[in-house]
Structure 1
């Protein structure tokens, strides 16, 4: 008579270390690499230039991180759906100018000017989403049009001059501290946590990943992908408007000179460095935040070390190139495993 034995549970009857350990799986995640890079870069810069780790410089980095971080999160949400938003930087610059004009030239209260600009940026995001989902227009083309128009509006409103005399309301948001921590950094942290909760803990957030991973499969599964895509474009544009409020508060003047120019590239770089796949469906908020931190460390470190600013874009471009290459290699590795 034979005796039947129950099938072994996963992990039972195997040699220790036969399967991938938890530590190894952690090391293989995209977020682990960029977080480690942040630690190494920060330590190296702090040892090279002690003032880099000083409270004044750290607070300054906190202000910058909040500005870039908000549009990086918005950009990443769009990329997760398989799209792209080239207008985030230009919308930010236009938002700065429109709020200044509404507050100073039109005489509107600062809170009302903020509400109007946020409504306008949200409307722009809605147009983006509908153009992509209903008209099936390429996201690159749709947002490139907005990028061009937004820059034109910025120059037309200001005629090349700055708008001064804005309300102190903006400064209260963009220049104040909460227990020595910049208020904009606190706002960024709140937005990051909210985005993490949405993507990781809600059914709608998982649908965003599903749509970005395979839109047709998501449709066959009954997911209303168009709604998720439109919502992400609206969120991206709204976050550009929110970042504009912080930038205006920090600057204290409505200026069209260089505000938001090229910031969309930094946002895309932060997303890709943080592990967001350009084909959509992959990426986490932790990696996006870490990618933004790494870019800010590099940018601020080059300034602290008094390296010619002309080399900053070269370094950031090389970092972006390496991140995109790593993204493609990671995608090929995942495809092979499947």
Structure 2
């Protein structure tokens, strides 16, 4: 029997994006202008970076609630470093290091102290949000180096620099997840942490890595935000950034339970969220309706994710128990312990030495 061709999960959300864009284009001619498309991509770049970082964390079964405040913290770090006389690239490196450090601290506390990710990152959210306010007395800081504008306002061959950065890091992170042992470990930890530990996977290192990636991505978002405004605001990132990052990842097919999802899916989710937000602004929908719509999108994504996991579990049990599947075909009868699955060569499994 020929194997059925698997349809990529990203295709579904791609179709939804096209339909949403067509609907807003019909509702408002302004939506389909080139200037609005450029604005959508610029605003979506920050969401895309936060979604990529959140996807890494969600793949291990965790969650990062500190991304929004990390945007403010890293943006202010860059502005303060430049005010002290350093070059813009030194300030950018300092901000990236601080963002990654926040992630490493989150991962270490979660793994080594066995604390819930929700509690740890929620606490970090408060700490990271307060530090810029304390350092500046709740006042903004002007960017001293005009060359810093290249990060958020520059371009490459007519493409906005934030979009170029998203494309570059999307390729790097996708290669990391799909073509390296580290990527296999990340999916394994999210699938079953205990089995991964028994298999020799360094769970602590993997946990700190994914939170460091999340903090690093939030730092890039902070650099883009500060560069576009050329002012460091201590309250930057306190809006819907966290809300949007989780929504983009979940809607893009990254499971809240870990072990399932892809980075291209999370990026498409970010495009959908940015399109919906931009479209509602163009159409003239009041801003207080936007969290309601995004919340419903998250709820729909979670419902689909839950249904998908339950269906996968039912199929697995059906195959193990040898019961007929939905198409009437009999499942695979259970194999005796130590036997190889049907269609695979038999292998010898060594018994542990007593």
Give the SS at the match of 1:86.
Answer: coil
Task: Using the TM superposition, give the Cα deviation of residue 48 of structure 1 relative to its aligned residue in structure 2, in angstroms.
Answer: 2.3
CA distance in 2, matches of 1:99, 1:72: 22
* Residue of 223, 226, 231 corresponding to 2:209: 231
Q: TM-score, normalised to structure 1's length?
A: 0.89
2:106 is matched with which residue? 128
Aligned pairs for 1:109-148 (under 5 A) are 109-148=87-126
Aligned pairs for 1:52-63 (under 5 A) are 52-63=31-42
Q: TM-score, normalised to structure 2's length?
A: 0.85
CA distance in 2, matches of 1:53, 1:84: 35
Aligned pairs for 1:24-173 (under 5 A) are 25-26=6-7, 29-104=8-83, 106-173=84-151
Pair 165,225 (structure 1): closer, same or farther in 2 beyond 3 Å: closer
Give the SS at the match of 1:40.
Answer: helix
1:274 is matched with which residue? 252
CA distance in 2, matches of 1:108, 1:178: 25
CA distance in 2, matches of 1:129, 1:258: 24
CA distance in 2, matches of 1:130, 1:59: 39
Q: CA RMSD in A?
A: 1.5
CA distance in 2, matches of 1:316, 1:30: 20
Residue by residue, what CA displacement relative to the aligned partner does 1:51-104 show, whole Å, maximum 9, x if unpaired? 212111111111111111111101110110111111011101111112112212
Task: Using the TM superposition, give the Cα deviation of residue 258 of structure 1 relative to its aligned residue in structure 2, in angstroms.
Answer: 4.5
CA distance in 1, matches of 2:116, 2:105: 13
* Residue of 228, 234, 237 corresponding to 1:259: 237
Please list every run of 5 or more consecutive structure 1 residues that lacks an aligned counterpart in the other structure.
1-9, 12-18
Give the total of aligned pairs. 316
Contact 1:93 1:261 survives alignment (8 Å): no
Give the SS at the match of 2:115.
Answer: coil
Whether 1:215 and 2:193 are equivalent positions in the alignment is yes
Contact 1:97 1:157 survives alignment (8 Å): no
Tell me which moved more, 43-52 or 180-189: 43-52
Task: Using the TM superposition, give the Cα deviation of residue 318 of structure 1 relative to its aligned residue in structure 2, in angstroms.
Answer: 1.2
1:250 is matched with which residue? 228
Task: Using the TM superposition, give the Cα deviation of residue 130 of structure 1 relative to its aligned residue in structure 2, in angstroms.
Answer: 1.3
Give the SS at the match of 2:128.
Answer: helix
CA distance in 1, matches of 2:312, 2:294: 27
Compare relative contact order (CA 8 Å, sep 6+) and give the higher one, 1 or 2.
1
Task: Using the TM superposition, give the Cα deviation of residue 166 of structure 1 relative to its aligned residue in structure 2, in angstroms.
Answer: 2.9
CA distance in 2, matches of 1:122, 1:315: 31
Pair 133,257 (structure 1): closer, same or farther in 2 beyond 3 Å: closer
Contact 1:166 1:253 survives alignment (8 Å): no
CA distance in 1, matches of 2:164, 2:236: 25
Contact 2:141 2:231 survives alignment (8 Å): yes
Contact 2:281 2:287 survives alignment (8 Å): yes
Contact 2:155 2:161 survives alignment (8 Å): yes
Contact 1:162 1:253 survives alignment (8 Å): yes
Contact 2:71 2:219 survives alignment (8 Å): yes
Give the SS at the match of 1:210.
Answer: helix
